[in-house]
Amino acid sequence: AQSVTQLDSQVPVFEEAPVELRCNYSSSVSVYLFWYVQYPNQGLQLLLKYLSGSTLFKGINGFEAEFNKSQTSFHLRKPSVHISDTAEYFCAVSVAISVNTPLVFGKGTRLSVIA
């Protein structure tokens, strides 16, 4: 079975500062990795996804993530955060991309951007 560990439950950061949200995964097979963002009382919005190939992936809102197979990590980064980036961020893993394959989520990291 696969699992996801988000190492930080909360990350406070000042506006315009860089941020990194950490995600490590565990799986005996190749996986697909995703980052989702959740604003209060809303569903989840896809930030970016890793399917195969490259190691650096760009998503929406200026976020990017680096896949590191040797360290089994998929950390999310943004060079300069805004107040509007305050939200909950979830890393998720799937062993297949098919209509009947769900995602397994990490526990989430609450990013708080301070003015």
Residues found near another protein in the complex (CB under 8 A): 34, 36, 41-46, 49, 51, 90, 97-108, 110
Report yes or no: 45 and 38 within 8 Å, Cβ to Cβ. Answer: yes
Bridge pairing between strands 10-14 and 109-114: parallel
Q: Which two tokens stand for residue 41?
A: 């009382």
Closest CA to 85 of 15, 7, 6, 35: 15
Nearer to another protein, 1 or 70 (CB): 1
Q: Closest separation between CB of residue 32 and another protein, Å?
A: 8
Q: Closest separation between CB of residue 78 and another protein, Å?
A: 20
Q: Is 91 helix (H, G, I), strand (E, B) or coil?
A: strand
Nearer to another protein, 85 or 106 (CB): 106
Nearer to another protein, 69 or 107 (CB): 107
Report yes or no: 93 and 33 within 8 Å, Cβ to Cβ. Answer: yes
Q: Closest separation between CB of residue 94 and another protein, Å?
A: 8
Nearer to another protein, 45 or 80 (CB): 45
Q: Closest separation between CB of residue 5 and another protein, Å?
A: 11
Chain-centroid distance of CA 63 in Å reads 9
